[in-house]
């Protein structure tokens, strides 16, 4: 007889899960208990290394884990039960897949012998989550569990990061088996993401950059995912080359908004100067971005005269939407380092004075202009005031999805990466509040603000209760216009101003709602009261619902109308009814 | 083209479609085929033919052969999308190598009597199809070849009393001494 009972690596599947979390440096997880995960919750109860945050809905656990991951660079972990627990995770998993967020979800499953039996709270979790994870596993044998858990962490965090799910039947959680710490052989031999860029391609890229007359750097979320070194190198490259730089929604903060080469965000609601620079450039360096349809506008008119260099760790991002001239596959931090090295050794700063003069003319159009009012709060003004009030503070911003999200991207200046958590690819209303919970758990002493809309925030409002329970002083800054603003904007522009179901006839009293949750409610109507109220919100060390009543019919400009190119932007001063009608004439004809 | 009222740019693509045969070497594990098929349905790619079987049992390797159609840009996407899946070892575009052999096997049931029966047997002989089952009023032929040859044979059998066909789909392998 072997003395297996004394082997410290002999343990139950449930114990292995907690042990693996500890071995991967996980200190906080987000979850919700249920029948099929009770053995794991029992293990969690009996230890203190991993803190569990009890959410109010599994979707909240997923977005909180995303916020945690995005603000730390570490993987976020969620724990949910079988059936509805797992299906409620589908939205956050898809969200994390679209935005390349490392997320490890552990789900309970009915016992192995009941799988396929339509058992209580059974669903085909791996089947349902297959298209919305980077990879997923159903573990049928407790002796496979350690290997799968280690592989799950590796897959989630390496290459292009993304969500993974490990489905663990209840009998496997109870069964005893052998655990082993993480080791190299835990990973599929078929999975080997490329890190280092091809040297020939890098030389080609440097030659293009060195010869550029009208260059632009267009960076994305990949730079932030790559880590602090990539951010540092990107900033150095801008410094060394003197090139203008713009960024996608996901990439904000990699280059500081106060930096002198910053053009602002590009794309559908990007600045005029960023989009014109993209359109007229002769060399484009795309770093860790994917030419998404909100970025390119009309693809056949996208930056027609430029040579395009594309750095991406995912080969499937290359030539997906836009044909590029010099693709470089690998980690953008690694490749930026190589590009810098070659550039410094062999090239000198190109003279692009004329290009900067041109950009200055575009900038002078002041595309983010809006008319302030003394009577009503303009949403843009509210964001600017919030930004001014938080300047110099250790601030993290999350958002929901819609007009408020675009205004936040336009008017809040990010100086550092990992400070901006938003649902870019999937566009998930309800992301911001639970994401703020996750961010605050990771950064207990920081100022965490969810810039929200009145419609979005109600999708996951129940997580206020989580914030109160764990004394997480998140600030929910609601730009309340009583509309689903972005839906209404499109209806005004494209559907003959027929505002079908985009107005909320009944809204909760957010101040009373805050009170009911045990949080603090604030409300402001007048521009004159705004700054004081924001100060109060910041100084309160409790969760706050801030009901900021803003001009109801304000719309988000500038804007690339659909089917238009970067140089056909609709600017705020042109956005009167007549010009808008004209810009959308083709669309209106078909309404 | 008129742009309809949409938040998306709707584009007419006129690039000609191409047909490509892809060989995909995968880890043989539960769900791997569902992943591959889900990729095609989820992203709107075509599957003209799909063949899969374990090829190296000790190493748990399976080989999937997919015949697909799409514009050159879509074909390139398909290959990259397959390649980035965790259990996929390699993706080879057999059509691009121009050095591949493609075969499929079909079993063709023909029912008839008299002249039709004789004619069917004669054609089968010309196509090197084998008789693998026979009754006094029917044959089942086994025929191997490329897709075109099999299509041709089936077309010829139609007026002679074709009952049903079972095809394996295309399997492909590269010429020469090297493996994929």
pLDDT digits (tens, 9 = 90+) for B126-138: 999 999 999 999 9
Instruction: Return the axis-axis angle of helices A90-99 and A58-72, rounded to nearest 10°.
Output: 20
Position A62 scores a pLDDT of: 98
Cα separation, A1 vs A9, whole angstroms: 17
Model confidence pLDDT, tens digit, residues A27-49? 999 999 999 999 999 999 999 99
Q: Among residues B115, B92, B94, which one has the least CA distance to residue B103?
A: B94
- Spot the catalytic one: A4, A47, A51, A120: A120
CB A335 within 8 A of CB A286: no
- B138: which strand partners? B111, B135
Same fold for the pair A199-363 and A379-549 = yes
Q: Do A298 and B9 touch (CB under 8 A)?
A: yes
Q: Which of A190, A293, A584 sits opposite B27 (nearest CB)?
A: A190
Q: How far from A299 is each of A235, A291, A293, B5, B11, CA to CA, in Å?
A: 29, 9, 8, 17, 9
**Nearest-5° Cα angle at A556, A553 to A558:** 140
- Spot the catalytic one: A147, A170, A307, A475: A170
User: What architecture does CATH give domain A379-549?
Assistant: 3-Layer(aba) Sandwich (3.40)
Torsion of CA A231, A236, A242, A245, to 10 degrees: 0
Provide the number of CB pairs (under 8 Å) joining chain A to chain B.
Answer: 81
Q: Do B8 and A293 touch (CB under 8 A)?
A: yes
Model confidence pLDDT, tens digit, residues B69-103? 999 999 999 999 999 999 999 999 999 988 899 99
Which residues of chain A fall below pLDDT 50?
1, 586-591
A369 given a catalytic annotation: no
Q: How far is A493 from chain B (nearest CA, A)?
A: 9
Whether pLDDT at B169 is above 80: yes
Q: Which of A191, A316, A590 sits opposite B2 (nearest CB)?
A: A590
CB A183 within 8 A of CB A150: yes
Q: Among residues A440, A388, A397, which one has the least CA distance to residue A418?
A: A397
CB A163 within 8 A of CB A91: no
Q: How far from A312 is each of A161, A220, B56, CA to CA, in Å?
A: 12, 10, 33
Measured in whole angstroms, the distance separating CA B19 from the mean position of its chain's CA atoms is: 11
| Alpha helix (H) residue ranges in A247-304 | 272-280, 293-296
Q: What residues of chain A have any CB closer than 8 angstroms to a CB in chain B?
A: 126-127, 130-131, 134-135, 138, 155, 160, 188-191, 293, 297-300, 314-316, 318-320, 323, 490, 494-495, 562-563, 584, 586-591
* Tokens linked to A389: 């009030």
CB A352 within 8 A of CB A212: yes
User: 3-state secondary structure string, A107-151?
Assistant: EEECCHHHCCCCCCCCCCHHHHHHHHCCEEEECCCHHHHHHHHHH
Place of tokens 């100067």: A273
Cβ-Cβ contacts under 8 Å, A299 against chain B: 9, 11
A16 given a catalytic annotation: no
CATH 3.40.50.300 is held by the domain A4-186? no
Q: Do B86 and A135 touch (CB under 8 A)?
A: yes
Torsion of CA A19, A22, A26, A31, to 10 degrees: 30
Position A297 scores a pLDDT of: 87
Interface predicted TM-score of the whole assembly (ipTM), two decimals: 0.90
Q: Among residues A263, A160, A293, which one has the least CA distance to residue A221?
A: A160
Position A334 scores a pLDDT of: 97
Position A587 scores a pLDDT of: 43
Backbone φ and ψ for A584, nearest 5 degrees, come out as -110, 20
Position A574 scores a pLDDT of: 75
Q: Do B80 and A323 touch (CB under 8 A)?
A: no
Mapped onto helix, strand or coil, the DSSP state of residue A399 is strand
Residues of chain B with CATH 3.30.70.1150: 101-174
Cα separation, A557 vs A370, whole angstroms: 9
Position B9 scores a pLDDT of: 67
Chain A contact present for B8, CB below 8 A: yes
- List B residues 34-63 in contact with A (Cβ-Cβ < 8 A): 34-35, 38, 42
Position B74 scores a pLDDT of: 94
Contacts of B67 (CB under 8 A, 6+ apart): B19, B20, B21, B22, B47, B48, B49, B50, B147, B169, B170
In CATH terms, the fold of domain A199-363 is Rossmann fold (3.40.50)
Chain A contact present for B179, CB below 8 A: no
* Tokens linked to A160: 């292009």
A121 given a catalytic annotation: yes
In CATH terms, the fold of domain B101-174 is Alpha-Beta Plaits (3.30.70)
Q: Domain spanning B18-98 has what CATH number? A: 3.30.70.260
Instruction: Return the axis-axis angle of helices A527-539 and A379-390, rounded to nearest 10°.
Output: 40
Cβ-Cβ contacts under 8 Å, A188 against chain B: 27, 86-87
User: In b/e form, how buried is each residue of A14-47, taking b as 16+ CB within 10 angstroms?
Assistant: bbbbbbbbebbebebbbbbbbebbbbbbebbeee
Domain ranges of chain A: 4-186, 199-363, 379-549
Cβ-Cβ contacts under 8 Å, B6 against chain A: 494, 562-563, 587
CB B172 within 8 A of CB B101: yes
Position B25 scores a pLDDT of: 97
Cα separation, A82 vs A425, whole angstroms: 27
Q: How far is B4 from chain A (nearest CA, A)?
A: 5
């Amino acid at each position: 007889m072997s003395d297996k009972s004394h082997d410290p690596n002999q343990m139950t599947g449930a114990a292995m899960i907690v042990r693996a979390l500890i071995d991967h440096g996980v200190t906080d997880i987000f979850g919700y208990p249920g029948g099929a995960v009770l053995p794991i919750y029992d293990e969690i109860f009996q230890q203190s290394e991993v803190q569990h945050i009890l959410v109010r809905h599994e979707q909240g656990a997923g977005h909180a884990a995303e916020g945690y991951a995005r603000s730390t660079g570490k993987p976020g972990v969620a724990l949910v039960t079988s059936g509805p627990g797992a299906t409620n995770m589908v939205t956050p998993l898809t969200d994390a897949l679209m935005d390349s967020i490392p997320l490890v979800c552990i789900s309970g499953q009915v016992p192995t012998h009941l799988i396929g039996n339509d058992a209580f709270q059974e669903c085909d979790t791996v089947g349902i989550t297959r298209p919305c994870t980077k990879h997923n596993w159903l573990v049928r044998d407790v002796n496979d569990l350690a290997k799968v858990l280690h592989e799950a962490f590796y897959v989630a965090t390496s290459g292009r990061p993304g969500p993974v799910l490990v489905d663990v039947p209840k009998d496997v959680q109870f069964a005893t088996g052998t655990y082993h710490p993480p080791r190299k052989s835990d990973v599929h031999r078929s999975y080997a993401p490329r890190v280092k860029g091809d040297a020939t391609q890098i030389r080609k890229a440097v030659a293009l950059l060195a010869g550029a007359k009208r260059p632009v750097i267009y960076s994305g979320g990949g730079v932030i995912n790559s880590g602090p070194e990539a951010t540092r190198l990107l900033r150095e490259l801008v410094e060394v080359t003197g090139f203008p730089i713009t960024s996608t929604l996901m990439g904000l903060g990699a280059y500081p908004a106060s930096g002198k080469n910053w053009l602002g965000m590009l794309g559908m609601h990007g600045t005029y100067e960023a989009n014109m620079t993209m359109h007229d450039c002769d060399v484009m360096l795309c770093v860790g971005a994917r030419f998404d349809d909100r970025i390119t506008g009309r693809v056949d008119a996208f930056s027609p005269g430029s040579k395009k260099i594309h750095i991406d760790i995912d080969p499937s991002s290359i030539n997906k939407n836009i044909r590029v001239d010099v693709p470089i596959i690998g980690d953008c931090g690694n490749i930026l380092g190589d590009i810098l090295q070659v550039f410094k050794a062999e090239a000198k700063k190109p003279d692009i004075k004329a290009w900067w003069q041109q950009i200055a003319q575009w900038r002078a159009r002041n595309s983010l202009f809006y008319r302030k009012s003394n009577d009503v709060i303009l949403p843009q003004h509210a964001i600017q005031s919030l930004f001014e009030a938080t300047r110099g503070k250790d601030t993290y911003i999350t958002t929901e999805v819609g007009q408020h999200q675009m205004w936040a991207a336009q008017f809040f200046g990010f100086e550092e990466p990992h400070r901006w958590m938003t649902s870019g690819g999937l566009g998930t209303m309800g992301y911001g509040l639970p994401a703020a919970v996750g961010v605050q758990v990771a950064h207990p002493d920081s100022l965490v603000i969810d810039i929200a809309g009145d419609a979005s925030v109600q999708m996951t409002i129940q997580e206020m209760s989580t914030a109160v329970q764990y004394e997480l002083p998140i600030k929910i800054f609601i730009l309340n216009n009583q509309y689903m603003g972005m839906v209404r904007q499109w209806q005004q522009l494209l559907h003959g101003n027929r505002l079908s179901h985009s107005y909320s006839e009944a809204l909760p009293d957010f101040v009373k709602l805050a009170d009911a949750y045990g949080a603090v409610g604030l409300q402001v109507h007048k521009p004159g009261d705004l700054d004081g109220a924001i100060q109060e919100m910041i100084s309160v060390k409790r969760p706050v619902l801030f009901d900021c009543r803003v001009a109801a019919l304000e719309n988000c400009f500038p804007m690339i109308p659909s089917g238009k190119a970067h140089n056909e932007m609709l600017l705020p001063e042109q956005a009167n009814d007549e010009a808008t009608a004209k810009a959308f004439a083709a669309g209106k004809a078909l309404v | 083209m008129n742009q309809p009222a949409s938040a998306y740019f709707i584009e007419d693509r006129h690039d000609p479609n191409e047909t490509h045969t892809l060989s995909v070497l995968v880890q043989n594990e539960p769900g791997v085929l569902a992943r591959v098929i889900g990729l095609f349905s989820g992203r709107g790619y075509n599957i003209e033919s799909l063949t899969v079987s374990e090829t190296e049992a000790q190493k748990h390797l399976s080989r999937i052969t997919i015949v697909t159609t799409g514009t050159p840009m879509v074909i390139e996407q398909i290959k990259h999308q397959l390649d980035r899946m965790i259990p996929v070892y390699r993706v080879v575009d057999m059509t691009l190598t121009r050095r591949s052999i493609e075969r499929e096997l079909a079993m063709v049931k023909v029912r008839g009597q008299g002249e039709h029966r004789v004619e069917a047997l004669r054609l089968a002989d010309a196509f090197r199809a084998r008789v693998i089952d026979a009754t006094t009023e029917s044959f089942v032929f086994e025929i191997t070849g490329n897709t075109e040859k099999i299509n041709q044979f089936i077309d010829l059998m139609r007026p002679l009393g074709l009952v049903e066909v079972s095809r394996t789909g295309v399997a492909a392998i590269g010429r020469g001494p090297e493996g994929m």
